[in-house]
Amino acid sequence: MAVFTGAGVAIVTPMKENGEVDFDQFRKLIEFQIENGTDAIIVCGTTGEASTLSHEEHLETVRYCTEVVAGRIPVIAGTGSNCTETAVYLSTEAEKYGVDGLLLVSPYYNKATQNGLYAHFKTVAESVRVPIILYNVPSRTGCNILPETVVRLCKDVDNIIGVKEASGNISQIAHLAALSHGYVDIYSGNDDQIVPILSLGGVGVISVLSNVAPRQTHEICQKFFDGDIEGSRKLQLEAMNLCNALFCEVNPIPVKKALNLMGLGSGSLRMPLTEMEEANVEKLAKAMREYGILK
């Protein structure tokens, strides 16, 4: 049973100008998502700048999100690390706050072998009871979780249930779907590949786009599930220019700028991330206006 189906937002972590987490604004962003049909909230992932949060900030952000959501939709906490011990710590603490699931990115920089990945994820999963979604994003981690390893983990470890696939490699994802025979819950990790991955049996998306267009991203998935494939495809293609603009600089630089342009106040970034170049701001604003989310 999937921890959620549809469009889950990889939510930003709003910051004050002094760099502190802005919890008051975070509440507003959470409510905006729920009011506009988001199917789940993924907190403290890549888009949430988890890599620059202290452990204390990370866990407080997870706790606060779970408290505000209050069971209305699922909350999945990013608790991965390149250190297995740290991932166990973050995961066990997040579980105490009542999260509905965990998102575990592959260990970055270490470049573990497939056997190492298996041992790492199995160790973390066995420290908790909640469902776990693996996160494959080799462009950031330098490490690719192969389909065989994903299937092996989902079969061997009861609470590892699926994977967020952000490799961008449709052939690899198709291979995973063929190997798993529906046993693995596959989520698109790329907003420009929602419909292709749903067509391979995927159950949803963990989305950056949903930060600024939650209703539309939900509808891409819902129309597909309802059998309106043409309608889903149309919405996917209409979003392509905006998807591209949201990644014209490294995520989450553009999406935080987009939220600020919309008056939703995501605040500043933490270094080493810096503000967008002006030419890219213009490109982003143009795409937002064309999509109808900015006047």
As given in the structure block, the two tokens for residue 106 are 């592959």
Judge contact between 42 and 72, C-beta under 8 A: no
Q: What is the DSSP string of 20-35?
A: -B-HHHHHHHHHHHHH
What is the Cα–Cα distance from 247 to 280, expressed in whole angstroms? 10
Residue 153: phi and psi, rounded to 5, are -65, -45
Active site residue ranges = 135, 164
As given in the structure block, the two tokens for residue 207 are 């989305």
- Taking the CA atoms of the chain, what radius of gyration do you get in angstroms? 18
Give the closest residue to 4 by CA, choosing from 232, 205, 289, 149. Answer: 205
